[in-house]
Amino acid sequence: MTQIVQMKNMNKYFGKLHVLKDINLTVEAGEVVVIIGASGSGKSTLIRCVNGLEEYESGKLVVDGNELAPKGGNQKSLAAIRKEVGMVFQQFNLFPHLTVKRNIMLAPMKVKNASQVIANATAERLLNRVGIGNQANKYPSQLSGGQQQRVAIARALAMEPRLMLFDEPTSALDPEMIGEVLDVMRELAKEGMTMMVVTHEMGFAREVADRVIYIHEGQIVEEGKPQDVFDNPQNERTQAFLSRVLAH
């Protein structure tokens, strides 16, 4: 299979703080990799490195055949990577002065140089895909949090990405809205979208992931199939983490 992401001995620092330590990780095309771990363990930093939102200091990072150089190196691959990678954040980051449809149209028009006609059709198709086609002409403030996050997913999909990154996409949502966002992500997984997901939703991870990665203090200390990681974790740190989060 094609490797969409390759990390080899990747290290990231914030000043003197060693945030990611010799990360070795590959993600295959069509694979759903869920990254779990305590707050501050480096999960979000790891996926933010994949599209260049954070620069790493040493090692190697290749995304869809484009090598992203370490900090201070040649960044010519960054534009190519960002055309192939969609990202959904904790916060929705929608433009409040634009309608839902216009928010989505910006991505294909700016990134893919699509015409307004094509961008309009793309926006309508994707809003229907995420289940809110009837909200196209509303403004973000008129939508629930779950609806806004689905708009953000549609906007990322409008770039026709090869890889989708999700950085705790449900953490800012009320509990009753979490399910509707996870349902959209489940459908993407079924359709074969390559995904890297940082989440605290362990039920989702168990159900959807092809592989679960547990990070502790910037290191991958355990990875495997969901049933292996959740039902029979080998590392004592993984065991301690899961005993805490699964007890609630």
Please tell me the distance from the alpha carbon of residue 248 to that of residue 243, in angstroms, as a whole number: 9
Q: Is 160 exposed, middle or buried (0-12, 13-18, 19+ CB in 10 A)?
A: middle
**Residue numbers of the chain with a pLDDT score lower than 70:** 1, 72-76, 248
Helix (H) or strand (E) holding 80: helix 77-84
CATH superfamily of 3-92+163-246: P-loop containing nucleotide triphosphate hydrolases (3.40.50.300)
Distance, CA of 156 to chain centre: 10
Q: What pLDDT does 1 receive?
A: 67
Q: What pLDDT does 131 receive?
A: 94
Instruction: Tell me if 35 sits within 8 A of 215, measured CB to CB.
Output: yes
Q: What pLDDT does 168 receive?
A: 93
Model-level pTM?
0.93
Please tell me the distance from the alpha carbon of residue 96 to that of residue 99, in angstroms, as a whole number: 8
For 211-244, how does the pLDDT look when each residue is reduced to its tens digit (9 = 90+)?
A: 999 999 999 999 999 999 999 999 999 999 999 9
Q: What pLDDT does 101 receive?
A: 97
In this structure, the number of other CB atoms found within 10 A of the CB of residue 13 comes to: 16
Return the domain boundaries, the chain: 3-92+163-246
3-class DSSP state of 235: coil
End-to-end CA distance of the chain: 38
Please tell me the distance from the alpha carbon of residue 113 to that of residue 128, in angstroms, as a whole number: 23
Please tell me the distance from the alpha carbon of residue 47 to that of residue 53, in angstroms, as a whole number: 9
Q: What pLDDT does 246 receive?
A: 82
